[in-house]
Chain A
Amino acid sequence: NAGVTQTPKFRILKIGQSMTLQCTQDMNHNYMYWYRQDPGMGLKLIYYSVGAGITDKGEVPNGYNVSRSTTEDFPLRLELAAPSQTSVYFCASRANTEAFFGQGTRLTVV
């Protein structure tokens, strides 16, 4: 019963590098979300998806891209990493009520 799985758990990137944060859910949920959480702050919505093939921008989408080719997967892409993208990234999926979160990816850009 995996739920929402995020990889990697930790990553250090150099400025200008790119990477993809992976998110997979096995609950057949339509809704999926990417959030970032800066120290001592709440969750800010980066991108979300209401189903395969459909994605939309959230509150802070600049510097990120997403795709949703399948119901299960919702990867988040950073093309040119910047120090401002140092944060903890959470992926979540939701059916009708409760949203389930992955364990997060701690990203540091140096």
Chain B
Amino acid sequence: RKEVEQDPGPFNVPEGATVAFNCTYSNSASQSFFWYRQDCRKEPKLLMSVYSSGNEDGRFTAQLNRASQYISLLIRDSKLSDSATYLCAVFGNEKLTFGTGTRLTIIP
């Protein structure tokens, strides 16, 4: 089983829609969780950290479920500029491990 699993998509959604991504991880001792955004041919950049209590940043909401070992990202009122690849990342045992990424395209 992969350490971090993520639906590769692609997700093609109309502008204004709500889209959700999920990611599961195998190491129950994992310590920190993140969502990164990667634009085409660019380096990944941190979108937001994920906390057990859930956290929100504008249109973006991230949640962590330690019991089920998954993290999620919700994007509300999607914009054309949200088109990108979204990668989940998990830190544990000194390593930062990424999922395969989910390609999101927002359609006008």
Query: Which chain A residues have a beta carbon within 8 Å of chain B's beta carbons?
Result: 31, 33, 35, 41-43, 45, 48, 50, 56, 58-59, 90, 92, 94, 97-99, 101-104
Contact = CB atoms under 8 A, between A and B. Distances in A.
Interface stretch (B52-60, B71-79, B92-100): B92-100
Contact of A48 (B32, B43, B45, B95): B95
B38 to A, nearest CB: 9
A42 B99 contact: yes
A102 B6 contact: no
B95 A101 contact: no
Contact of B87 (A43, A59, A94): A43
Contacts, number: 49
B95 A58 contact: yes
Main secondary structure of the interface of B (DSSP, over half): strand
Nearest to B4: A42
B46 A99 contact: yes
A35 B99 CA distance: 12
A43 B34 CA distance: 14
A13 B94 CA distance: 32
Interface string B76-90: 000000000001010
B44 interface: yes
Nearest to A4: B43
Given A59-B97, A97-B32, 9 more contacts: A31-B94, A45-B97, A58-B95, A94-B96, A97-B49, A98-B34, A98-B49, A101-B44, A103-B43
Contact of B44 (A48, A58, A59, A90): A90
Contacts of B43: 90, 101-104
A35 B98 contact: yes
13 contacts: A33-B95, A33-B96, A41-B100, A41-B101, A42-B87, A43-B44, A43-B87, A56-B94, A98-B34, A99-B46, A101-B45, A103-B42, A104-B43
